[in-house]
Amino acid sequence: MKYIWLIIFLILPIVGVLYTAWRMWHLLPFSIAMKWVAVGVLFVWFSTIFIAFSGALEKMPLFAATAVYEVGFSFIFILLYLVMLFLVLDIGRLVHIVPKAWLFDNGYTSIGIFAVMLLLFSYGNIHYNNKVREQIDIKTDKAICLDKKSTKIVLLSDLHLGYHNRRSDFKKWVDMINAEQPEFILIAGDIIDNSVRPLMEENVAEEFHRLKAPVYACLGNHEYYSNQPKARRFYREAGITLLQDSVAKIGNLCIIGRDDRTNMQRKSLVMIMEEARKKGFISDLHHGKYSNEFLVLLDHQPYHLEEAEHDGIDFQFSGHTHHGQVWPVSWVTDALYEKAYGSLQKGNTRYYISSGMGIWGGKFRIGTQSEYVVLTIEHK
């Protein structure tokens, strides 16, 4: 898997930027000097990706780090669509659909490509900022609260708070969540993007304290990238109950949070369930199937989904995939995961894999959505 991501995030961008530079050189109706300037700007822009991936952001003023992060990571998505657009034009030229003159020293084609990219990424940014509300309704024989017929839970994943998703962004999300008036808020990892520093400097923990329902969360891979001990400290300051291979029981609802699979020593789901049974959190009924309590599993990365079904989980919530963030990367995630996005049923277990509330990298959603999920569990 690590080699797949090496190809996606290192080798392919290098090939892509070289191809784009070659295409720009021939397309732009500029003098040789101006062509060098344009290609130079492209390579400088490309270099910001490596600055953003390095530890240099930690040493910059917050406003500068935010600018470098957004410029660098936005370039990845813009480069993707430039490469696709140039490939379509080149293939069209080879099969004699696109006139050769369109691709050489042509100002009209240059302006057209610029306009298409501007419109596409303006749409992608607007679409990202318009969060989608997804509703899931589950009817069960298990009474979660004896005095209530139904329980409302807001499910979130992949907030990626940091240099690009700042406190001002999260403030709006908190207002959306509070408007739902949930009993609980569950977060399936990646609350933090790649550094705890911007969250500390902006005191983002204060915004978590504005949430009007208790928050339970598991860790994601980005909590490890951002320094796991610091991430745990932020969780405590934000009033988040961290479930790291552990269980919380509220009434007849059991919330099971797995550590992220980045930790190769994390406990198996079977072990977590057995420990919870010994503590009296979970009843062992019907030949080893845990069926008295309603069991919700938070597991950031949606691998080995059959484990939840095997261990009698009622509902699993995961994130991580972002559904690729933009098309056609969504096709890649569909190929890599059994279920990269949306609802799934396996036996008596329901699953939902979320595309996430926030985003990694550039703030664009094309062919995917940023969402929060409202889960209503109703006693039959």
User: Does the pLDDT at position 185 exceed 90?
Assistant: yes
How high does pLDDT run on average in the chain? 92
Average pLDDT over residues 81-104: 95
Q: What pLDDT score does 143 carry?
A: 77
CA atoms within 13 A on the CB side of 279: 12
pLDDT, tens digit, for every residue of 262-299?
999 999 999 999 999 889 888 865 444 556 889 999 99
**Domains in the chain, please, with CATH?**
2-128 (no CATH), 132-379 (3.60.21.10)
Average pLDDT over residues 132-160: 90
**13/138: higher pLDDT:** 138
User: Does the pLDDT at position 8 exceed 80?
Assistant: no
Q: What pLDDT score does 2 carry?
A: 46
Q: What pLDDT score does 290 carry?
A: 59
pLDDT, tens digit, for every residue of 297-356?
999 999 999 999 999 999 999 999 999 999 999 999 999 999 999 999 999 999 999 999
Among 344, 342, 341, 338, smallest CA distance to 324 is for 341
Q: Hey, what are 355's tokens?
A: 């595309």
Rounded to 10°, the helix 32-53/62-94 angle is 130
pLDDT, tens digit, for every residue of 194-220?
999 999 999 999 999 999 999 999 999
Q: What pLDDT score does 3 carry?
A: 53
pLDDT, tens digit, for every residue of 39-69?
999 999 988 888 887 788 898 999 999 999 9
What residues contact 71, with CB distance under 8 A and at least 6 apart? 45, 48
Rounded to 10°, the helix 107-129/12-27 angle is 140
**380/165: higher pLDDT:** 165
DSSP secondary structure string, 113-175? HHHHHHHHHHHHHHHHHSPEEEEEEEEESS-SSTT-SEEEEEEE----BTTTB-HHHHHHHHH
Is there a contact between 320 and 301 (Cβ–Cβ < 8 Å)? Answer: yes
pLDDT, tens digit, for every residue of 111-121?
999 999 999 99
User: Does the pLDDT at position 7 exceed 70?
Assistant: no
